[in-house]
Amino acid sequence: MMSQPVATIRLQRARSRRAGPAALASSRLLAALAAPAVLVALALGAAAAAAATAGAAPLAAEELAGRLVLLAKDGKSPARGSDARQAVVYYEPETAARAGRAPKPPEAPFQLLTKGKEFTPHVLPVPVGSRVQFPNQDPILHNVFSVSPGNSFDLGIYRVGPPKEKRFEHPGVVRVFCNVHQAMVAYILVLDTPFYASPAADGTFRLTGLPKGAGKLTVWHEQAEPWSVELALPVEEGAPPVQAKLVVVRPKLPPHLNKTGEAYTRGDSY
């Protein structure tokens, strides 16, 4: 694309030397018109080369909308005091499961910080293989730990300073506690999929960029049993949004022991 306009310009210049002032003016006009074409060709070529180098693939465009409803133990009335925003909605494509492909974890670590004797955020979804840092922003000591199978860890007692870090290699729910403060609890959801979101306060949720084909949608909440449904994308036109109903059966603060399997006895003394 580049050589033809340049050759045309040179040919017009050569002819202009033999044709006189009128032809010279005409050749200059042609050169001015051809120059932008050269620049456009260069720009398009650079963009194409960049895309080829990056190996960019077309983005998936399917969406899945729905609503989470938290119910009391009777399964009929709304659950009082339960927060739909603490749920995690995730979609697992069947093709990825068959191929055994796990999502690539981000290079930057996630953070679950301690502040005001609380973990923030209370629920943290991350892809398999992700690193999570646990900075202490309190002027007191903390000892973050978990005994969840496959992802257990103990960060020891530490103060404000460089954050402790843990990499999570296995999918599953990680219950996180503090060995000093019994009331501190958080959840890390280690997921085998990059497609996840948290509902809004009214329970509505939307997942975007999903691949076509069969898969499984799961809704997890700390106070209920997980809810799942198998479906295929794209959904039929005019189909109603997915409605997931979860019955609250667990307290907000689950009963638990300290990291050595003993009851908390010394209280929040420091």
Q: Of the spans 37-46, 68-77, 230-239, which averages the highest pLDDT?
A: 68-77
In the 3-class helix/strand/coil scheme, how is the chain assigned residue by residue? CCHHHHHHHHHHHHHHHHHCHHHHHHHHHHHHHHHHHHHHHHHHHHHHHHHHHHCCCCCCCEEEEEEEEEECCCCCCECCCCCHHHCEEEEEEHHHHHHCCCCCCCCCCEECEECCCCEECCEEEEECCCEEEECECCCCCEEEEECCCCCCEEEEEECCCCCEEEECCCCEEEEEEECCCCCCEEEEEEECCCEEECCCCCCEEEEEEECCEEEEEEEECCCCCCEEEEEEECCCCCCCCEEEEEECCCCCCCCCCCCCCCCCCCCCCC
Going by pLDDT thresholds of 50, 70 and 90, the confidence category of residue 266 is low
pLDDT tens, residue by residue, 88-102: 999 999 986 666 666
**Which has more confidence, 10 or 184?**
184
The mean-pLDDT minimum among 20-24, 36-40, 74-78, 200-204 falls in 36-40
Is 50 exceeded by the pLDDT of residue 268?
yes
* pLDDT for residue 99: 63
- The pTM of this model reads 0.75
The burial class, CB within 10 Å (0-12 / 13-18 / 19+), for 69 is middle
For residue 255, what pLDDT is reported? 93
Range in 35-44, 103-112, 241-250 with the lowest mean pLDDT: 35-44
Q: What's the rounded Cα separation, in Å, for the pair 45 and 36?
A: 14
| Residues 175-185, mean pLDDT to the nearest whole number | 96
Query: What is residue 106's predicted lDDT score, i.e. its pLDDT?
Result: 85
| pLDDT the model gives residue 265 | 81
Q: What is the pLDDT of residues 108-165, one digit of tens each?
A: 999 999 999 999 999 999 999 999 999 999 999 999 999 999 999 999 999 999 999 9
User: Quick one: average pLDDT of 63-75?
Assistant: 96
Q: Over 50: is that where the pLDDT of 197 sits?
A: yes
pLDDT of residue 100: 63
Give the residue, 23 or 51, on which the prediction is more confident. 23
pLDDT surpassing 50 at residue 221? yes
- As a whole number of angstroms, the distance between CA 10 and CA 26 comes to 13
Tell me the pLDDT tens digit for each residue of 70-82: 999 999 999 999 9
Residue 262: per-residue pLDDT = 95
